[in-house]
Structure formats: C-alpha cells, structure tokens
Amino acid sequence: MFADLVGQPIAASQLRGAARSPVHAYLVVGAGGTGTRQAARGFAACLLCREGGCGECSDCRRALAERHPDLAVFERVEASISRAQIDEILRLAVRPPSEGARKVLVLVDFHLVAQEHPRLLKTLEEPPASTVFVVLAEQVPPELVTIASRCVRVDLGAVPAQAITEALVAEGTAQDVAAALAAASGGRIDRARLLAADPGFAIRQAAWRSVISRLDGTGATIAALTDELLGTIDTVLGPLEERQAGEVKVVEERIAQYGERGSGRKELDERHKREQRRVRQDELRFGLLTLAGAYRDQLVTDGRATTRSAALVAISALDATGEALVRNPNETLLLQGLLVRLTEAAEGAPPVGSALGR
C-alpha cells in the first residue's frame, strides 16, 4: 500500500494502524515532495479494500490509481481552494458510498483554503459514519488550528538522504550520482527523481559555483550572469514536461473513450502549472544553496579578514534572497539584485539589501 511512500516508515505504520479502526478525519502534514499524496493514496486503498489493504484487489488498484468511485481527490484550481470546491466537498461528504462501506475524501493543499474553511468545520466534526476525510497540508496556519484539532494528525518529515539514495539506485541511478542528487534534493524524493532524469544537473551546479569568480563589478556581467543562470533553470523543465505530456495523453485517451465530463483535464492543467512553478523555485533555491556553499568554502580556505567579511555578507544576502522567494517575486529582478549585492560585498561596500525583496 505504501510502496511509493519513500523514507516515511513511521507515517506508513501510523496509517496502516489507523485503517483498522478509522475515525472521521486525518490531517497529513508535510512539505512538498515528502510524500503526502502517496500517503493519502495508500491510506485510501487500505480504507476501501475489503481486506484492509491487500494490495492486489480491484479496490486497492483503483484507489492507488485514484480511480476508485468511492475516492474523491480535490485539488485547487485557483490560488486557493474555491467556494465551488467546498460546495462539492460538502455535497459528496453526505452521499453514501457507491460500492463499499466507506467513502474517502482527500483534500490537497488545505493550507491554501483561504476564507472557506469555516464552512467545512461542521462536516469535519460530524461527517456521516461512512465518510473519512484525509486532509493534506504543507503546514497548519493559525486560521486552520481549529480544523486541525478535529483531525488525527500524521506528520511527514524531510525524506532522509539515505532513503532517497536507495530509491534512486533501485530505479537505475548509479550510487555516486544518486548520493549527489539526494544531497541536492532538499529531502524531496520528487525533486531527486526529476534531477535523476536531467543530464544538465552538473552543468547548473558548476554555473552557480562560478559566479564568485566571474563577478567583475560591471552591470553587463550581472545582466549576462542573470540570463545564463535563469536559462539553466529552463533546461530542468524538460524531464518534467515529458512526464506531464504522458499524463495529458492518458487523460486525452480517457476523454476519447468516456467524454470530457469528469475527466479532470482542467485540474491536471492547473497542477502542471503549479509543478512547473515549484520546479523553478526549487532550482533557484538549489542555486542559492550551491553559491552559499562556495562562499562557505572561502571561509575555510581563505583566512584573510576582508575575504571572511565579504563571504559572511554574501551568505546573508543569499539567505535573504531565499526568504524572498516565498513572495513569488520577479526572478530576473531578484537575481539581479542579489548579484549587485554580492558585487558590493566583494568590493567592501556598506550593506544596502533593498533590491532583494522586489
């Protein structure tokens, strides 16, 4: 049931146990790429299987493929979960199961439910006996604490590097390459797999590490470096777009056979856009961490006070840039502002930092 849930044995064990005598609602909390969706699928299969999760029956296979009629997965199609989606969740929650004894409703990205969460509170507290909610969230903001208190919480941590390495090796990646990708994944198995399919990883890493030696104090160099670094990010989308094209093909075949209604094409398109945005942000964070590592190497290898001072200022600027990414800034302006600050640090200029948050 949880073969796709990499490096989360405690969570898998909790969910297996919970499936034997389930309550009305569960909250699975974990950062993107740690396996919340995989955990939900495995848990749903256990709940819908007449044997409690045999892994072989039609109920298990359809639940793991998210095609079971008694499993409904709600993904946001806008910036946050919409009023219309909440209406549909409430409607399905009170309907009886189609085939078995239970219905499972999986709510994805619930930390982005915005102002609609109070309408769900009553149903989450007292759903029909046959309905089980599985709520997925990257974090629990203050406005969702009340809802979280009505759920059994299961936490997923970052996937251990060793678990990621073992998974990549099992999928055909060389041991040394798998270890390097695991270290660059930030504890996310989805990112590690994406990097494993991307031959440009080493090139991008080298490009970011070369920034220190290439900054010469000119605006032309800053502009050229910005274009180059953002260009390397574009290349990583290739493997993702290939995988997404396969998913689109499956949906189009389903539409050809059964029609557009209920195909999930709109939801798939929106998910693909979110995945591409996340990959770009992941790549920027990877680049910032790589560059920070290069500056930390300077701290170790160069004992001069001026070098150490410049490196510390640079690392601080890189941290601030990483924090600014959560606001979805213009990538070009953000990177140019960073490179200006790194140039000033190397020249010993006083801190400015105002360009980092734009």
pLDDT at 238: 77
Tell me which amino acid residue 237 is: L
pLDDT tens for each residue of 304-341? 888 889 999 999 999 999 999 878 889 999 999 999 99
pLDDT at 89: 87
- Pinpoint the alpha helices (H) of the chain: 9-20, 36-48, 58-64, 83-93, 118-125, 145-149, 161-170, 175-184, 189-196, 201-209, 211-214, 219-258, 265-301, 305-324, 331-347
DSSP conformational letter for 350: P
Q: What is the DSSP string of 275-309?
A: HHHHHHHHHHHHHHHHHHHHHHHHHHH---HHHHH
pLDDT at 111: 79
pLDDT at 354: 37
Q: Domain map of the chain by residue range?
A: 9-157, 197-347
Mean pLDDT over all residues of the chain?
Answer: 86
Which residue from 116, 115, 111, 126 is spatially nearest to 85, judged by alpha carbons? 116
pLDDT at 82: 74
Q: Using CA atoms, how far apart are residues 265 and 263, in angstroms rounded to an integer?
A: 6
pLDDT at 263: 62
In degrees, rounded to 5, the angle at the alpha carbon of residue 279 between the alpha carbons of residues 11 and 294 is: 95
pLDDT-derived band of residue 37, with 50, 70 and 90 as boundaries? Answer: very high
The kind and range of the H/E element at 29 are strand 25-29
Tell me which amino acid residue 269 is: D
Q: What is the DSSP string of 68-85?
A: -TTEEEE--SSSS--HHH
Top pLDDT among 20 and 357 is at: 20
327 CA to centre of own chain: 16
- pLDDT surpasses 60 at 177: yes
Tell me which amino acid residue 68 is: H
Over range 235-256, report the average pLDDT.
Answer: 82
Place of tokens 């990257």: 138
Beta strand 131-137 pairing with 103-107? parallel
Beta strand 131-137 pairing with 25-29? parallel
Q: Would you state the structure tokens that stand for residue 251, as one six-digit string?
A: 């949906």
Tell me which amino acid residue 283 is: E
pLDDT at 298: 87
Which of 93-97, 156-160, 255-259 is predicted with the least confidence, judged by mean pLDDT? Answer: 255-259
Q: How many CB atoms lie within 10 A of CB 6?
A: 22
pLDDT tens for each residue of 93-151? 889 999 988 999 999 888 777 666 677 777 877 888 899 999 999 888 887 788 888 89
Choose the CATH number for 9-157 among 4.10.520.10, 3.40.630.30, 3.40.50.2300, 3.40.50.300: 3.40.50.300
pLDDT-derived band of residue 357, with 50, 70 and 90 as boundaries? Answer: very low
Sign, CA dihedral 136-140-144-146, equals positive
Which of 49-63, 96-110, 239-253, 289-303 is predicted with the least confidence, judged by mean pLDDT? Answer: 239-253
Angstrom CA distances, 210 to 82, 200, 228, 294, stand at 44, 15, 11, 9
